[in-house]
Chain A
C-alpha cells in the first residue's frame, strides 16, 4: 500500500480536507488498470516528459500522491506536476504538501531521481495553461448540487493572504463553499471544465480523470462526452460507496 501524503500542516478551516472523494482518486490512479493504461500511453522509452495538472488541489493530497509515486503509477520519474486552485490558501497548502511528499520520498530512496513539482497557481480552473499542453488532467470538482454558486464578487477580499491569515467565518465559509458547491445537478463547474478539455489536453495523447457523484447523473455526463466525436472516449475507472446498486462516487477517464 502506498503512503498517503501528509497534510498535517494544512488549516482545514479554509481548505478542503482530504475525504472519501480524494481517497477514491488515490485508489483509482494507483489501481492496476490505470497504471497499465498510463504506462502504455506515456511509455518511459518515448522521451518527452508528461505534464500532470490537477485542478482544485485543495490540500494537495492527490497531486502529491501522484508526484511521490510517479515511478509506481506512470512507470517514470521524469514527470512535471502543476497545481491550480481558486483558493490562495489551498495554493500555499498544496505547495507545502508537494514539497514534503517529494522530500520524504527522496530521503527514503536517496538514489532515485525526484519527480518535478513545477508550481501552485491561483486560478479559475486551468485558465492560464497553454492549449494542448496537458498530458494528464485530474479534477475533483465542487460536485454537490446547490442553489447557486458562491458569490465571486467578494472573492478578492477573502482570497488575500493577510498577516493574520483570513480567519473570519465569512472567508472560511466562502472558501469551503468553492470546494463543494456545484450549482444545478452539482455540474455547473464541471461542465465548464468539460467544455475546455479538448483544448487543454495534448492532441491525441492527453487523458483526464474527473470525479463525479451520483447526483451529477454520471451516465448522462458520459453520453455527452461520447457526442464530442473525434474519437473521444469515456469510461468509469473507479467507484466507491456502493449502495443498492448505486455508486455514490465514481471517477471517469476521458481520452481519445
Chain B
C-alpha cells in the first residue's frame, strides 16, 4: 500500500467516520519497500491540492521517514529552470530553460508513489481497530459485530 493511498483511507467503521482521530490511520509494524515507478511530474504537481498535508506528515513521522516541511510546497517549488549538475554538459541552449522536476518533486514522487507498505497494520486512532496489510493489500473487512 502506497503512502499516498493512506491519505485517502480512514477507519471503515461507521461510528468512526465523524471522528478526527480516525484519520490518518496509524501504521504499525510496517515493513516498507521501494517499488520503482516512472515519474509523472504533472501528477506530482496536481496531486498536491488533493493532499491532506498534515496527515501525510503524521504518517511520515510514524514511519520514521523524512521530515516534511510544516506546510505543503507551492507548485513553483517543484520545478527548476536551472539544469541539474549532471546534465549541464549535455544541455543545449534551448533545453537549459525548460522547467525540470526539482529535487523536492523527485523526493515527493519517491515518498508518495514508490514507498509502499508491504505488510503491517493500520490502526484507527479512535476505536483502536487494526487492519492488516499483507502482500501490499490492506484488508478493511470488519467482523459482523463491528459493521
Interface, chain A (partner B; CB < 8 A): 47-49, 51, 77-78, 80, 82, 86, 88, 91-92, 95, 106, 113-116, 118-124, 127-131, 133, 152-153, 155-156, 159, 161
CA distance A161 to B133 in the complex (A): 13
Interfacial chain B residues near A159, Cβ < 8 Å: 139, 141
CA distance A209 to B46 in the complex (A): 24
B14 nearest CB neighbor, chain A only: A127
Task: Choose among A78, A128, A130, A153 the residue that contacts B140 (Cβ–Cβ < 8 A).
Answer: A128
Is A128 a contact of B10 with CB atoms below 8 Å?
A: yes
CA distance A77 to B41 in the complex (A): 11
What 7 A-B pairs are tightest by C-beta distance, nearest first? A123-B140, A127-B12, A113-B40, A78-B43, A128-B140, A49-B46, A48-B49
Nearest CB of A to B93, in Å: 22
B38 contacts A by Cβ under 8 Å: yes
A-B contact pairs, 27 of them (CB 8 A): A47-B49, A82-B5, A82-B8, A86-B141, A92-B135, A106-B38, A113-B41, A113-B42, A115-B43, A116-B43, A118-B8, A119-B1, A119-B136, A119-B138, A121-B5, A122-B139, A122-B140, A122-B141, A123-B12, A123-B140, A124-B140, A127-B12, A128-B9, A130-B23, A133-B8, A152-B144, A159-B141
Nearest CB of A to B47, in Å: 5
Interface residues on B, range: 35 or more
B17 contacts A by Cβ under 8 Å: yes
CA distance A129 to B12 in the complex (A): 8
CA distance A91 to B118 in the complex (A): 15
A48 nearest CB neighbor, chain B only: B49
